Chain A
Amino acid sequence: MKANVPTRKKIKLNWFKSKCNFNIERKVNIEYNAASTTYNKQEWDVIVKYIFVKEGEPKDIPPNSPMTIYKNGLPFLFLTTTATIGNKIISEEMIDDDISVDDDIVQIIEGKPEITFEDALKPKEHIEVRTRYDKIIRKISIENKLDNEIDLILDFKQTKDVTFIKSDPLPSEIETPNHIYNIKIPSEESFKITLEIQAKIVKRVTKIKPEFIKILKK
């Protein structure tokens, strides 16, 4: 490509122009720990990225290149690229502010605590470990505020203290520890998932051993 590059100037050159297919990937990742399962309300972010598959020969586009998406001739979204794989141009991941995900507590059913003991630092003391398994029901509402139908993947991931029991609707795919829901939400409508999970709650209390309490009383 021949050009003049003058001092202290920017020059713009046409590089390529081609037709392409595109799809929008939206994903919400949900993951709790023992404490967060009992929160009254949580909000999750929907992550969105655009994938363009262009026709013709592949072009290497540097990461972080600015990209403007036009709809009906007007600039609609400003974003940057993250990578190109062959003919695929992948945009950066962004938080989709037009999809809201509210996660509310419905019910907590406390389990019976099992008591075990562990050695403490002082010989006259021991640690009482109270372990119980709580059943927690949460309702996740996803609202689509856009003027078009969207496809979204909700990925609930089990953690060491929080496991999946059941849900309504059932996950589309289970690949432990991930429970994946493929969701379609029409414009300005919402979708609800009821999630039943089990949380392992462990509490530790250091106490004086009973035999030493008697001696103290004497």
Chain B
Amino acid sequence: MLIDPKVKKLDIFNGGGAIVEREIKLSLNQGINKFEIANVPASFNPNSADITLDYIKLEDKEYISLQQTIVSLPDRSNSNQIIDREKSAANSIISYAIDFTREMREKVSSICEASSYRTYADMIGTFDFIINAKREGEIIVKINYFVSDIRIKWETTLNVNIDNDNKAEIEGFIVVDNQTAFTYDDVDLGFAIFEIPADTNLSYPPLNAPNAEPVYFESEQAQQALPRKMMKRTQRLKNLML
């Protein structure tokens, strides 16, 4: 049976990716119950897929159990071929359309934009599970998986209003950027940080590093060209011209 469990929680990483937690209440028949989860992106990590059963009645624990989960990702080359065909079809719609009234234009552009942004990660992955029930009953199923897609991420922006007495007011905002093809409605959001050191690739070894090659300077220009850490320059607002 195809089911579409509601996304309850979404823990997003600032470096890209998210942990999705979905939940659904299911009625089970006696015997083998096979379920297929809808709207699982192909960017999900099959190894991270996890299912837990929450028993509504405690005595069901003896009679209802998770038999197995089945996960797979769509074939990459076939998916890419389909995406390419979709993109060329979208281009053709734009090229050969005769009349673009206002309503039509918006509809066409939304279809074409969706297809032009589509990637393999927007295709649908397979995440099935089988529950073995020795008697009829109801159960809550929690589904967790990690979405490895850098197009869903978060960042903060800070606004600071300063006055002349070294006092300020700081305001923090979280900006969630979801460029995937999936929508998450009314979800509990969590935000996780991956520490990525800033400008690590721009630092130079110290001048007098042990075993370093001696540095000889022949001109003053050479001294000015001493390796320094690349840094941004201040650009302060000086005046407002009215």
Contacts and interface: CB of A to CB of B under 8 A. Distances in A.
Interface of A: 1-23, 33, 35-36, 39-43, 45, 47-48, 52, 54, 59-71, 73-82, 89, 92-98, 148, 159-160
B156 A15 contact: yes
A68 B160 contact: yes
Interface string B197-234: 11000000001100000011100100110001001111
A140 to B, nearest CB: 15
Interface of B: 10, 14, 113-114, 117, 152, 155-162, 164, 166-189, 193, 195-198, 207-208, 215-217, 220, 223-224, 228, 231-237, 240
Given A7-B180, A7-B181, A94-B232, A19 B169 contact: yes
Contact of A65 (B114, B158, B180, B232): B158
Given A15-B172, A17-B172, A76-B162, 13 more contacts: A1-B188, A2-B189, A8-B179, A10-B175, A20-B167, A21-B166, A40-B220, A47-B231, A68-B160, A77-B234, A77-B237, A78-B235, A95-B231
B189 A52 contact: no
Contacts of B178: 5-11
Contacts of B177: 10
Determine which residue in B10, B14, B157 has the highest number of CB atoms from chain A within 10 A of its CB, and name it. B157
Give the residue among B158, B174, B187 with the most A Cβ atoms within 10 A.
B158
Contacts of B223: 35-36, 39, 42
A95 B232 CA distance: 6
Contacts of A79: 232
A20 B169 CA distance: 6
B196 A61 contact: no
A59 B66 CA distance: 40
A82 B170 CA distance: 16
A3 B172 contact: no
Enumerate the 6 nearest inter-chain pairs by beta-carbon distance, A residue then B residue, closest first: A15-B172, A5-B184, A67-B158, A65-B156, A39-B220, A36-B223
Given A21-B166, A69-B160, A70-B162, A76 B184 contact: no
Contact of B175 (A4, A11, A93): A11
A43 B216 CA distance: 19
A42 B220 contact: yes
Contacts of A23: 166
Contact of B162 (A36, A71, A96): A71
A159 B215 CA distance: 14
